[in-house]
Chain A
Amino acid sequence: MPLEISAARPDPALLDLPWSIPLEEWPQDLLAALPRGISRHVVRFARLSGSVIAIKEIKADIARREFQMLRQLGRLDQPCVEPLGVVTGRTDAAGEPLDACLITRHLQFSLPYRVVFSQHLREDTAVRLLDALAVLLVRLHLVGYWWGDVSLSNTLFRRDAGAFAAYLVDAETGELHEQLTDGQRAHDIDIAQVNIAGEFMDLEASGVLPEGLDPVVMAQDIVTRYETLWHELTEDEWFDSGETWRVDQRIRRLNAQGFDVDELAIATDLDGTRIRIQPKVVDAGHHSRRLLRLTGLDVEENQARRLLNDLDSYTAATERQGEDEEIVAHDWLNRIYEPTVRAVPAELRGRLESAEIFHEVLEHRWFMAERLGHDIDIREALDDYLRHVLPGKPEERSVIDEERSS
């Protein structure tokens, strides 16, 4: 069987990779890093046309299925890694068949949970990771995706204005349904709880879990976080017919959580004295969509919230509240945001994503102002940040988990 690469937009450089060699034996010079530890499948990270790709050796039918699943999730606007293609028909030098390969693009500036923990020994780091994972799981469940293997190792984390945004990395066990049953959701949460407890216990055994954190309590925490958010997004609410303002209140509350309401069911009881509302379709990314519309910047949700707040401050400071929002946003982009991120020297740009640097500069300005007791101009804060803070941070553009556990 001839080698076959099926991909959405195939990169010809893919053909130059040594597909006739088992992935485990690929030459070092091709690899971006070598994952250690126990893996269900062989996974390698290779360089391709200036970026990093992840390659997983796996049976052909499973590879094709996962490829399609990741594409579908991408189309549904879910945060997951981007699938690049599937390589089948591999044979070794002796003509013996080799397993197929699934290729995904490495998510830039993403961090595996082990790396997050080895960098920051802060208690709230774990809480923030769990928050991000709970949001991801709720989002996936809202579109009818049953994950089947929810875990920190099957997730990548991107910094999001001091918090994290979670991305699904492994869709091997997942299924897309019209709508999930309560049983399917409960099963996924149960799997999450067991896996996360195991992962935290493993961190504990390797000595990187901050003291005072109990893996069992943390794992229970994901359940609570998930349930609270799910409830907030989907519960129905009854009120008297005179209180229609509560429809608006509900929508605002969801917006504040970062979700937009696409469809809302409103019904009355028989005599029309009571009204019931229930959000039917909610979409994550309320703030990031608004920022994208105003400025064209495509960033994570909390980063967008932060940037929008700064835009608001700019509007107030320049007394332009009455003006067209798009025009003010355009000026803010040209006068505040762009000059700040452009000022970062090229050799430091791989440390953090631009929007995260901007967020950190704002944080830095606040701390400087507090210390000095007066307002600080953003240029001054930027200068100090670039001199004293950013150079001390590690490069995060292509961090790879070298110790996968699944």
Chain B
Amino acid sequence: MATVKFDNATRVYPGNDSPSVDQLNIDIEDGEFLVLVGPSGCGKSTSLRMLAGLEEVNDGKIWIGDRDVTDLSPKDRDVAMVFQNYALYPHMSVAENMGFALKIAGEDKAQIRERVEEAAKILDLTQFLDRKPKALSGGQRQRVAMGRAIVRSPQVFLMDEPLSNLDAKLRVQTRTQIASLQRRLGVTTVYVTHDQVEAMTMGDRVALLKDGILQQCDSPRRMYDHPDNVFVAGFIGSPAMNLVSTPVVDGGVDFGTTTLQVERDALAEAGSRVIVGIRPEDVELTSEGDGMAIVVDVVEELGADAYIYGSAEDAAQVDSGEDDDGVKPFIARVDGRRPPRKGETIYIKPQEGHLHVFNAESGHRIGH
């Protein structure tokens, strides 16, 4: 087991002007589950591959434990890419399917059996060890494949979108299995996905990248409650945070008919406008004339809750930098028993203590 350190790690592809991964700094703790997430082309896979030894590091270093692995070949790094391939061999037993890679590494029979049995216990496969894989269910076969990586007992597991070719049901099932398995094994794991739900549900910490630059690396809770910038605010959370550009006024920021109080010091360098962010579940319905007016376009009833999708009459939604398809609706989660009607104009404010404010120029968070 080991820590992993990206130390100003940079990758520039030949012929490209800008780096695909730009001075990445992440310290991953021993036993931690870190998820690299971001839109396509953000550099998450490249970062993982730099750690695996599949991409060159043009600048900076990568450490596993106290070893500088920057120039080591993939084989010498003691990392395992999981799920790249998981063919099961029909004539071999489950135990043989799990342990054969150790045979290549020259381990003796007794040692192989011991490690296979250990892994089988963790994977709930003990009773199937002497059967042929044909007798297993789809989920059990997945676990045999995981077992193949586990028996090698690497210092670090690397997973690059391992669930992308599974169907929706098996994906959710396997997601849970991987997360709980990782916790039981306690092996440092770096996991790449483009899906923020996967990132938030699986990771101890989540590192969000955009254009090769790390935006924030924090616990899922912290990413959600305290996004460092507009991009993080818009990427994490589903449905996404509402982001509105609004003028700075005396004592705070303008919000429809009212002023939302923001500390004077915090706004000192903000300029004349800021971006305010409100999560759909942090929206409070107010009385007519108080706050921002929203015309309801769609009501989506989910039983206990309802989501309303509307348009703000006097404020435009801001593009957070994620791939944008036209004008975004303003989204609010409201009580499902008394939802507003389509076409109605409602007035809203953020709940106390749930306002995010960002610098309109830099996108950085203002205040705390």
Q: If the complex has contacts A184-B54, A187-B74, are A202 and B90 also in contact, measured as CB distance less than 8 A?
A: yes
Smallest CB–CB gap between A282 and chain B, Å? 20
CA distance A198 to B89 in the complex (A): 7
Scan B84-111; emit 1 where CB is below 8 A from any A CB, else 0: 1111111110001100110110000000
Contact B52 A187 (CB under 8 A): yes
Residues of A within 8 A of B133 (CB): 38
Q: If the complex has contacts A178-B13, A186-B75, A205-B92, are A198 and B87 also in contact, measured as CB distance less than 8 A?
A: yes
Residues of A within 8 A of B88 (CB): 38, 405
Interface size bucket, B side? 20 to 34
B173 CB–A CB distance under 8 Å: no
Residues of A within 8 A of B15 (CB): 178
Residues of A within 8 A of B101 (CB): 194, 197-198
Nearest CB in chain B to that of A151: its residue: B87
A206 CB–B CB distance under 8 Å: yes
CA distance A151 to B86 in the complex (A): 11
CA distance A299 to B88 in the complex (A): 35
Smallest CB–CB gap between A202 and chain B, Å? 4
A50 CB–B CB distance under 8 Å: no
Residues of A within 8 A of B75 (CB): 186, 190
Residues of B within 8 A of A184 (CB): 54-55
Contact B55 A205 (CB under 8 A): no
B134 CB–A CB distance under 8 Å: yes
CA distance A203 to B92 in the complex (A): 9
Which of A37, A38, A182, A197 is most buried by chain B, counting CB atoms within 10 A of its CB?
A: A38
CA distance A198 to B102 in the complex (A): 11
Contact B87 A405 (CB under 8 A): yes
Smallest CB–CB gap between A20 and chain B, Å? 18
Nearest CB in chain A to that of B90: its residue: A37
B291 CB–A CB distance under 8 Å: no
CA distance A197 to B89 in the complex (A): 11
Contact B165 A59 (CB under 8 A): yes
Nearest CB in chain B to that of A177: its residue: B13
Contact B104 A40 (CB under 8 A): no
Which of B49, B84, B89 is most buried by chain A, counting CB atoms within 10 A of its CB?
A: B89
Contact B90 A405 (CB under 8 A): yes
> A183 contacts which of B54, B91, B92, B100 (Cβ < 8 Å)?
B54
Residues of A within 8 A of B52 (CB): 183, 187
Contact A406 B87 (CB under 8 A): yes
Smallest CB–CB gap between A227 and chain B, Å? 13
Contact B89 A199 (CB under 8 A): yes
Smallest CB–CB gap between B77 and chain A, Å? 10
B14 CB–A CB distance under 8 Å: yes
Contact A183 B55 (CB under 8 A): yes
Contact B103 A216 (CB under 8 A): yes
Nearest CB in chain A to that of B165: its residue: A62
CA distance A201 to B92 in the complex (A): 8
A303 CB–B CB distance under 8 Å: no
CA distance A181 to B53 in the complex (A): 9
Contact A40 B103 (CB under 8 A): no
B273 CB–A CB distance under 8 Å: no
5 contacts between A and B (CB under 8 A): A38-B87, A40-B86, A148-B84, A187-B54, A203-B91
B interface residues with partner A (beta carbon < 8 Å): 13-15, 49, 52-56, 73-75, 81, 84-92, 96-97, 100-101, 103-104, 133-134, 141, 164-165, 167
A interface residues with partner B (beta carbon < 8 Å): 37-38, 40, 58-59, 62, 99, 148-149, 151, 153, 172-173, 178-179, 181-184, 186-187, 190-191, 193-195, 197-199, 201-203, 205-206, 216, 219-220, 403, 405-406
